[in-house]
Amino acid sequence: MLESLKKMFSGNEGDLPVHTGSKPDISREKSAELYEKAKTFFPGGVNSPVRAFKSVYGTPLFIQKGDGCYVWDADGNQFIDFCGSWGPLILGHNHPKIREKVTEVMQNGMSFGAPTALENELAELIIKNNKFVEKIRFTSSGTEAVMSAIRLARGYTGKDKIIKFEGCYHGHSDSLLVKAGSGLVTFGETSSQGVPKSFALETIVIPLNDKDAIKAAFEQFKDEVAAVIIEGIPANNGLLIQDQDYVEFLQQICKDNKALLIFDEVITGFRLGFEGAAAHYGVKPDIVTYGKIIGGGLPVGMYGASAEIMGHISPDGGVYQAGTLSGNPVAMAAGIAQLTELSRSGFYKDLNAKTTEFAESIQRFATARNYKFKVFHVGSIFWFAFTDKEAIKTAEDIDPQSMDKFKVLHRELLNRGIYIGPSGYEVGFVSAAHTKIELEKAKRAILEGLDVVFRNK
């Protein structure tokens, strides 16, 4: 089967026959029933907004199980999954080594609210293989890790203001749910009801990829800025890959102004490589945050820094941060199993090469067809953009009207057994579980879907 698929794609992708029509919609009857019931329990019927499928066609899929690179929904539909629980499942679903380690640890209990040797084991595995952190603190989510990192930066520097960038998402804590105002350098405006304006006034929001804007921010708020926070590579609002010199510039201007540089690596950490975007750019952030990938997809987060900076966290220092379930033994067990696999020689080289071939072959097809479509990718992360721009570095560069085309593509992919995030602003992820066979199947579906999109333009 693999050989026949190879032959199918051995020539120029532009020579493939045009797909002649849309696929019939898959059955979502059981998912729709579950969604109607869920709406009586949860706001919008979901426990996280993007799951509501508001940006795409149809009702949400209720997932019943996952294995390898596949998921199955309540109606029995099977999909090749490129969402991977929003990135953490870099080894795929239900990986046997993670499952075995978690099952073994669960025999002794699942929560203690007290130290366990598992915390030491996972921490040692991380610190020995990551030169950007000397001490760490486990949390229960990426949002909690970023919130704690901000508090640490303020406590360490004795300053209050934070600079963030338009188009970067750092979780749902109050001081970071802000958006830019109308000027080049503005105080943040709350992007959610329930966030006091006084919280937003401590956050300065500026455009990405604009050196003049950050220079102006430091000049306007001289000696008031505790930290600059940026996603390692912004990947919550498209894949906004920043230039090397810009990231190095951020490091230097923070140093010059005695502010800390925080890399939010909830998506990029352990995904681009074991040391994430920090190693990708060769830039050492002062504080770095990570998310659920360090727990094999279970609820966990982490922030880390030098021993000197982390020495300000309680009980050693005066910056309070706590978590009843931090270092949960089940999550630690999953993390040990997952990161052990990620630390193996050649893991990232193979995964990233596989992703590059997948992304570039789709791009060759789109280019040959003169489709206004680009596949941006870095490491094992990719993003589909309906654009003819060679680079998109800011949220403002994304055409909102292009999301109409994404809606069509999303429906076509679901009907062909491919699952990606239900928003055109979300990125996709290739896992170690995606074999050449599945990637060729997915590629064929994507090319057919693009033909449908652009046939109907």
- Residues 391-443 have pLDDT tens digits of 999 999 999 999 999 999 999 999 999 999 999 999 999 999 999 999 999 99
Listed by start position, the domains of the chain span: 2-81+357-455, 96-342
What is the topology classification, in CATH, of domain 2-81+357-455?
Aspartate Aminotransferase, domain 1 (3.90.1150)
pLDDT at residue 45, rounded to an integer: 95
Bridge partners of residue 303, in order along the sequence? 137, 289
Tell me which of 159, 292, 354, 443 is the catalytic residue: 292
Percent of the chain with pLDDT over 90: 84
CA angle 381, 385, 388 (to 5 degrees): 125
Return mean pLDDT, the chain.
91
Q: Check if the beta carbon of residue 139 is closer than 8 Å to that of residue 367.
A: no
Q: Report yes or no: 300 and 331 within 8 Å, Cβ to Cβ.
A: yes
Q: Is 419 a catalytic residue?
A: no
Q: What is the pLDDT of residue 254?
A: 98
Which pLDDT value is given to residue 189? 64
Round to whole Å and give the CA distance between 434 and 354.
9
Q: pLDDT for 6-34, tens place per residue?
A: 333 333 343 344 445 788 999 999 999 99
What was the pLDDT predicted at 183? 44
Q: Which residue has the higher pLDDT, 132 or 23?
A: 132
Residues 231 and 168: beta-carbon distance below 8 Å: yes
pTM higher than 0.75, yes or no? Answer: yes
The verdict on whether 316 is a catalytic residue reads: no
**pLDDT of amino acid 179:** 67
pLDDT in tens, 364-380: 999 999 999 999 999 99
Residue 64 has pLDDT above 80, yes or no: yes
**pLDDT computed for residue 412 by the predictor:** 97
In tens, the pLDDT along 144-198 reads 999 999 999 999 999 999 999 998 988 877 667 676 544 444 455 666 777 777 7
105-114 own/partner pairs: CB under 8 Å, 24+ apart: 105/329, 105/330, 105/332, 105/333, 106/330, 106/333, 108/329, 109/329, 110/328, 110/329, 110/330, 111/325, 111/328, 111/329, 111/330, 112/329, 113/324, 113/325
Catalytically annotated residue among 169, 290, 371, 419: 169
Q: What is the pLDDT of residues 69-125, one digit of tens each?
A: 999 999 999 999 999 999 999 999 999 999 999 999 999 999 999 999 999 999 999
Q: What is the CATH number of domain 96-342?
A: 3.40.640.10
**264 is a catalytic site residue:** yes
Catalytic residue among 73, 101, 161, 264: 264
